Structure 1
Amino acid sequence: MKDGPHIARIAALIGDSARAEVLTALMADRALTATELADIAGVTKQTISAHLAKLLDAGLLAVENQGRHRYFRLAGRDVAQLLESLMNVAFRAGAVRLRASPREPALRRARVCYDHLAGEVGVQLHEALLRQGYLHAADEGLAVTPAGAEWFAHQGIDTTAAARQRRMLCRPCLDWSERRHHLGGALGAALLQRLLERGWARRDKDSRVLHFSAEGELALRAWLAPAAGEAASNEPPRPLAARGRSGR
């Protein structure tokens, strides 16, 4: 007897190269037009229309009409989580691109994972929050400590309000490039939003890459440190993602 949902149709849809490029581009939680997605996927407008129709029919994408334009985005966080999980498996299995994009180093350093911070910077922030006792492991994934609630409030984030959202408050999300966890959930999204609102980081227009300003680098260093036992230094702060990495 065959049990459970039939996954072959969804797997086949995602498995197409052009559709995979479309879904990956929309991992930045930005709505894009069919023309923009055709350029990203390297196909004609007629071809992208057929691909988008299939993804809409399967419930993987949603569309919003605004004036003369139609904007496409992922249908929800569950789709983004599925794609991120596939990226983890693909990376572990060695299914990498033969020719890396010039943006690859920046993508690994800091990027948007649907609505939260990922890459080296995201992993470092998650580990610092655990190390400093603001988060701790719990049966459901992660929980905020009283000290953590106070720290988040100082950043302008109300953990009580975040907990009322129809999603997990905070969860570890396995980072495909670092093979360690970054912070997902409502708090992960709120932290990324604060970084953008304060002008500490900005998104690349056509990718998931995040770039940090000099002020953002310094502010994030203050978020992360000092770690227990880390000696004080009069040296200028190193770039955030360089902590603990050698030979890079």
Structure 2
Amino acid sequence: MNEGPDIAQIGALIGDPARANMLTALMGGKALTATELAAVGGITVQTASTHLAKLEAGNLLAQRKQGRHRYFTLADDSVGKFLESIMGFAAGRGHLRHKPGPKEPALRKARICYDHLAGDYGVRMLDSLIARGAIDAIGEGLALTENGESELKRIGIDVHALKSSRRPLCRSCLDWSERRAHLAGSLGKALLSNFLETGWARRTAESRSVIFSPEGERQFLALFPATK
């Protein structure tokens, strides 16, 4: 029956190991060059350029030029959400690409999922916001409450500016390691940016891990207490 969306095309695009590795690298939210992505994919730059052209034609990647350089990013946050969901599906069925190593605990604790916080801390943050009525969980959707808006303003989040954006304010994103939801959308991005700007946390150069300082961790755990 040749009707409806063609999932075979998407499957073919992400099914190549080199392309899958490049897409995963872009989940960190940073724009990368073809040379950097070729290294991630374990292929030549010429081969990477062919793969990148296919991903761009499939609307999974976006490209921008700066001087003589071309940089690639995920096309939008919906691609990040899709990839995180696929990772969760794969992990749940034991399809892991490597044995757990020193980096694994850090990734599971806190990591970047495109532009928002994921991992144990990302799930904890959303659970805590829901438990105290700052966010309402409506079916599979999320909505910021008046109480939540006031609370977030006190920690420096400009909720009014976020509401004027065309991007959804709150969105649920399935976490691949926790198998539960963390907070995405413009609010999820703003909270992660706040943690990084205040020095509570920092990004790592070679990983999607987010490392909290001792004081940042204390502040985070106090602001988002465990619900169980």
TM-score by length of 2: 0.94
Q: What's the counterpart of residue 87 of structure 1?
A: 87
Structure 2 gaps, min length 5: none
Count of residue pairs the alignment pairs up: 228
For residues 217-246 of structure 1, what are the alpha-carbon distances to aligned partners after superposition, in whole Å with 9 as ceiling and x for unaligned? Answer: 11102212386xxxxxxxxxxxxxxxx7xx
Residue identity matched to 1:166: R
Q: What's the counterpart of residue 168 of structure 1?
A: 168
Q: What's the counterpart of residue 218 of structure 1?
A: 218
Instruction: Answer yes or no: is the 8 Å Cα contact 2:37–2:48 preserved in 1.
Output: yes
Partners in 2 of 1:151 and 1:28 — Cα distance?
28
Residue identity matched to 1:99: K
Superposition CA RMSD, Å: 1.7
Structure 1 gaps, min length 5: 228-243
Q: What's the counterpart of residue 147 of structure 2?
A: 147
Q: What's the counterpart of residue 105 of structure 2?
A: 105
Partners in 1 of 2:86 and 2:19 — Cα distance?
14
Partners in 2 of 1:180 and 1:25 — Cα distance?
22
What displacement does 1:6 show?
1.7
Q: Among the aligned pairs, what percent are the same residue?
A: 54
Q: What's the counterpart of residue 37 of structure 1?
A: 37
1:25 partnered with 2:12: no
Q: What's the counterpart of residue 138 of structure 2?
A: 138
What displacement does 1:172 show?
2.1
Partners in 1 of 2:147 and 2:140 — Cα distance?
19
1:177 partnered with 2:177: yes
Partners in 1 of 2:75 and 2:98 — Cα distance?
30
Q: Secondary structure at the match of 1:207?
A: coil
Q: What's the counterpart of residue 52 of structure 1?
A: 52
Partners in 2 of 1:225 and 1:84 — Cα distance?
25
Partners in 2 of 1:176 and 1:98 — Cα distance?
15
1:194 partnered with 2:194: yes
What displacement does 1:101 show?
4.8
Decide whether aligned partners of structure 1 residues 226 and 68 sit closer, same or farther in structure 2, where only a CA change above 3 A counts: closer
